[in-house]
Amino acid sequence: MSLPPSLTQHMVRRPQRIALLAHIAEQGSITRAAKSAGLSYKAAWDAIDELNNLAEKPLVERSVGGRGGGGAKLSAEGERVLRLYQRLQALQAQLLDSAEESSDLALLGRLMLRTSARNQLHGRVERMTRHGRNDLIDLRLAGDLSVQAQITHDSSERLELDVGTDVFALIKAGWLELLAPDDEVTNGNNCLMGQIEEVLDAPDGPSEVRIVLPSGQTLCALAEPEQLKALDLSAHGAVKVQFSPANVLIGTPL
């Protein structure tokens, strides 16, 4: 099975994050792997979340009793990606022997997509429905999850979207609304169930809530501490996430 184009391009665009996989394989610990890679513990987990979300299957799995705390190990898919990355490194070294080709690689890097959206999920277009000037796009994500995006018909044509097209679903953390597991979802909104992995409080402003989906992908949402308390939401508890299709941005590989 081939890798999603989104992950393949990430290997070229953000090689230091892919290299983190090698540190995890060697250290068997997120804490030690982060230190070896020159990252903070949080930055390492943010990188892992991004990689897991871009892949069709999680690349990194938590393990109990890892050396040095924060145990983690590569999944079979993660080991396969790491081998491919190592092969890519060898090919890149050959290319960099030429100054002209090195310049071309720098140009490609500038053309690659980078975004401020915390939540970047890989998916494929499953259905497209025209509604006046807008299109409602049904996306199939990893783990057989699905979400809808609403974009203009002009945008669909510009992105050359069609059934089967690989895309990124981009959702800013502030666009996710947390609900208690039994709360009703607003009609027309997307809804995903998950489990709160961690709540990171901030001295000023909302807390960052990390939510693990059944597929193993991770969402990051923002919520005020008072809101979490009112909804009786806390780490390791179930949570429901809703968001409007209009708040799902779509990107495609170049």
pLDDT in tens, 120-156: 888 899 999 999 999 999 999 988 899 999 999 999 9
CATH architecture, range 118-254: Beta Barrel (2.40)
CATH 2.40.50.100 domain span(s) along the chain: 118-254
Which residue has better confidence, 84 or 236? 236
CATH architecture, range 5-111: Orthogonal Bundle (1.10)
CA distances 224 to 198, 206, 228, Å, are 14, 4, 7
- CB count, 10 Å around CB of 114? 8
CATH 1.10.10.10 domain span(s) along the chain: 5-111
Of 4-13, 149-158, 168-177, the one with minimum mean pLDDT is 4-13
Question: Residue 87 has what pLDDT?
Answer: 75
* Distance of alpha carbon 47 from alpha carbon 52, whole angstroms: 9
Mean pLDDT taken over the chain: 83
Q: How far is CA 188 from the centre of its chain?
A: 24
Please name the amino acid found at residue 7. Answer: L
* Distance of alpha carbon 12 from alpha carbon 85, whole angstroms: 9
Query: Is pLDDT at 226 greater than 60 in this prediction?
Result: yes
Average pLDDT, stretch 15-42?
A: 86
Strands annotated E in the chain: 60-62, 72-74, 119-131, 134-141, 146-152, 166-171, 177-179, 190-200, 207-212, 218-223, 238-243, 249-251
Average pLDDT, stretch 30-42?
A: 88
Which residue has better confidence, 252 or 167? 167
* Distance of alpha carbon 219 from alpha carbon 120, whole angstroms: 9
* Distance of alpha carbon 4 from alpha carbon 94, whole angstroms: 24
Query: Is pLDDT at 88 greater than 60 in this prediction?
Result: yes
Query: Is pLDDT at 30 greater than 90 in this prediction?
Result: no
* Distance of alpha carbon 159 from alpha carbon 239, whole angstroms: 33
Residue 68: pLDDT band (50, 70, 90) is very low
- CB count, 10 Å around CB of 200? 10
Copy the structure tokens of residue 154.
């002009």
Query: Is pLDDT at 188 greater than 60 in this prediction?
Result: yes
Average pLDDT, stretch 16-31?
A: 85
Please report where in the chains the tokens 């018909």 appear, as a residue: 153
* Distance of alpha carbon 27 from alpha carbon 109, whole angstroms: 30
Residue 114: pLDDT band (50, 70, 90) is low
Structural contact between residues 73 and 28, judged by C-beta atoms closer than 8 angstroms: yes
Question: Residue 110 has what pLDDT?
Answer: 47
Please name the amino acid found at residue 15. Answer: P
